[in-house]
Chains A and B, each alone.
Chain A
């Protein structure tokens, strides 16, 4: 089911949570609403679900205006950040809830409910826990039960609020992959909210970046990463070195290859992997290798400027492990810096 939001605004007292949001989500996508805390992403999700009323604007699900529809009549599945499992019911009853509350005409038979619930519990690989209560489960298990419960009513849209927020790192990694596969198998239009850009890039097919109640950019993960439309998106997605050309020595700039092409370009955003570090006595050095960190396949290098004029902040460069070994770099080395690629914002 496609989702169209047009001109959605929401105000909490004097705080503007959402400011004229227009968003179109085609059917079958797995979309991440990404933004810093307080940017309105959860509010937007709750408005789509019907848990919150927008001050203005319309919510169209599959072309149908559902703005005035109650949450129970929208055909959406919602997974809450803290799962909101019914603590007085067993896992089985939790998942069966959505089927049991259907009116008599559309309610499946008890045998059908049983079958369906067990199928869903097998889908989330937790059928063996069916007679436990939520309090007896771990965070990751609760998360998956909450998902199974939401899927039981066969929603045409699945909404997940910070689905991995409360889980520890290793469980989170597994569940991310699992959600991606699940989405691939079920192909239900899904939106999840996250403040973690890595998570958004890893899981989503579409990323919507929000800030201060506005959409900054919408696009595929690589689109957002490679072509950020403004400095906020550039800074928020991935690591970025920000170099203000007015505060850095011009000679340094030209020797590192960072030259603005016109006068309006003042601030350069440079990805760490776009900085090449060279250790060569022939080339005059522009920086000192202050420290380096091991990030698995990559090495992150912290550079500070030599001479009198210091950067406000150190510059970070990244290079593959092998290259780092090849160059035989170490702390305190004088190195030359070549900037391969930069994005300009003002």
Chain B
């Protein structure tokens, strides 16, 4: 028996979905694969195992992961404050959160580079207090990535916290749980899947980010070159096959990492009865 839906249109919408995925995602990505297939296996390995390329992978992945972690932590706190408390100027702050979405990333990059460079406002302060250089190091890259990826975390966690049934907290309290126990055993497990989604989005954005990073990164070989920069460099030298080889590798690594995060999320949801 055919399932009946209240809203019709399964066929056209599925058709549109497939068409869209084909045009926007599959065709460009398969071109990437085909283009890098022009290379022989040895050439591919040669390009990828180039020390400078390997270093850029290390920089890109580690800064993205670190930035996603930090953004998740602070994003969670920001979402918490927005949901739990009311204060003057909350709406304005709430709107400010989305700014990194709208700001051209290059603008963000230039601004960040300006204030974090060794004689910039914050750069100098941090240099004086901690003796750490932010701009032109992986720390600078991480700062830029946190800036870019924070809204992803806030906007995924916020609605879930909003929906959270706070009588569960009261129930836990009457059962003798301390505040810490209520947070760790009741609130956090319910929000964790959303936080993982936010983390995955932040990470994915971080790996692919170019505009906001290149200005603050300084692009020193082996130190602060990111993978997207290596791809651009290759493109500028008309090494299209080389560029696609690096791009494809980055794509596969990102895909595997996102898949792992999704599997973790599935496991968490299963374990907590949300599936």
The reply to whether the CB of A77 lies closer than 8 angstroms to some CB of chain B is: yes
Question: CB distance A51 to B186 under 8 Å?
Answer: no
Smallest Cβ distance from B174 to chain A, in angstroms? Answer: 4
* CB < 8 Å neighbour of A153 from B165, B170, B175, B178: B175
Among A83-91, A179-187, A234-242, A267-275, the stretch that binds chain B is A83-91
The reply to whether the CB of B172 lies closer than 8 angstroms to some CB of chain A is: yes
* CB < 8 Å neighbour of B176 from A49, A86, A89, A101: A101
Question: CB distance A101 to B172 under 8 Å?
Answer: yes
Other A-B contacts than A97-B185, A101-B181, 4 sampled, CB-CB below 8 A, are A78-B171, A82-B167, A86-B186, A88-B273
A88 touching B167 in the complex, CB below 8 Å, given contacts A51-B174, A77-B174: no
Point out residues on B near A: beta carbons under 8 Å: 165, 167-168, 170-178, 181, 185-186, 189-190, 272-274
Minimum CB distance partner of A106 in chain B: B176
A88 touching B190 in the complex, CB below 8 Å, given contacts A72-B177, A101-B175, A101-B181: yes
Question: CB distance A88 to B174 under 8 Å?
Answer: no
Chain B residues near A82: list those with CB within 8 A: 165, 167
Question: CB distance B170 to A70 under 8 Å?
Answer: no
Chain B residues near A87: list those with CB within 8 A: 165, 168, 190, 272-274
Chain A residues near B273: list those with CB within 8 A: 87-90, 133-136
Smallest Cβ distance from A148 to chain B, in angstroms? Answer: 12
* CB < 8 Å neighbour of A84 from B168, B185, B190: B168
Q: How many residues of A contact B (CB 8 A)?
A: 33
Chain B residues near A152: list those with CB within 8 A: 175
Question: CB distance B174 to A72 under 8 Å?
Answer: yes
Minimum CB distance partner of A76 in chain B: B174
What 1/0 mask marks residues of chain A from 92 to 126 whose CB sits below 8 Å from any chain B CB? Answer: 00000110011000000000000000000000000
* CB < 8 Å neighbour of A97 from B172, B178, B190, B272: B172
Question: CB distance B190 to A98 under 8 Å?
Answer: no
Minimum CB distance partner of B192 in chain A: A88
> What is the bound-complex CA distance between A133 and B270, given in angstroms?
11
Question: CB distance B177 to A80 under 8 Å?
Answer: no
> What is the bound-complex CA distance between A152 and B174, given in angstroms?
11
Question: CB distance B173 to A51 under 8 Å?
Answer: yes
Question: CB distance B178 to A80 under 8 Å?
Answer: no
A71 touching B181 in the complex, CB below 8 Å, given contacts A87-B190, A88-B274, A133-B273: no
> What is the bound-complex CA distance between A318 and B102, given in angstroms?
72
Minimum CB distance partner of B166 in chain A: A84
Question: CB distance B167 to A84 under 8 Å?
Answer: yes
A84 touching B171 in the complex, CB below 8 Å, given contacts A89-B272, A98-B176: yes
Question: CB distance B185 to A49 under 8 Å?
Answer: no
> What is the bound-complex CA distance between A135 and B174, given in angstroms?
22
> What is the bound-complex CA distance between A102 and B185, given in angstroms?
13
Question: CB distance B172 to A70 under 8 Å?
Answer: no
Chain B residues near A76: list those with CB within 8 A: 174
> What is the bound-complex CA distance between A171 and B122, given in angstroms?
66
> What is the bound-complex CA distance between A70 and B172, given in angstroms?
12
Question: CB distance A71 to B170 under 8 Å?
Answer: yes
> What is the bound-complex CA distance between A91 and B120, given in angstroms?
57
Minimum CB distance partner of A149 in chain B: B175
Chain A residues near B177: list those with CB within 8 A: 72, 97-98, 101
> What is the bound-complex CA distance between A51 and B171, given in angstroms?
10
Smallest Cβ distance from B258 to chain A, in angstroms? Answer: 24
Question: CB distance A86 to B171 under 8 Å?
Answer: yes
Minimum CB distance partner of A102 in chain B: B176
Q: List 15 A-B contacts (CB under 8 A).
A: A49-B174, A72-B176, A78-B171, A80-B171, A85-B171, A88-B190, A89-B273, A97-B172, A101-B178, A101-B181, A101-B185, A135-B273, A146-B171, A149-B171, A150-B175
What 1/0 mask marks residues of chain A from 196 to 233 whose CB sits below 8 Å from any chain B CB? Answer: 00000000000000000000000000000000000000
Question: CB distance B189 to A80 under 8 Å?
Answer: no
Question: CB distance A88 to B272 under 8 Å?
Answer: yes
Minimum CB distance partner of A134 in chain B: B273
Q: Which 7 pairs between the two chains have the least Cβ-Cβ distance?
A: A133-B273, A88-B272, A98-B175, A84-B167, A78-B174, A84-B171, A101-B177
> What is the bound-complex CA distance between A88 and B272, given in angstroms?
4
Chain B residues near A149: list those with CB within 8 A: 171, 175
> What is the bound-complex CA distance between A104 and B164, given in angstroms?
29
Smallest Cβ distance from B152 to chain A, in angstroms? Answer: 23
Among the interface residues A72, A73, A149, A150, which one has the most CB atoms of the partner chain B within 10 A?
A72
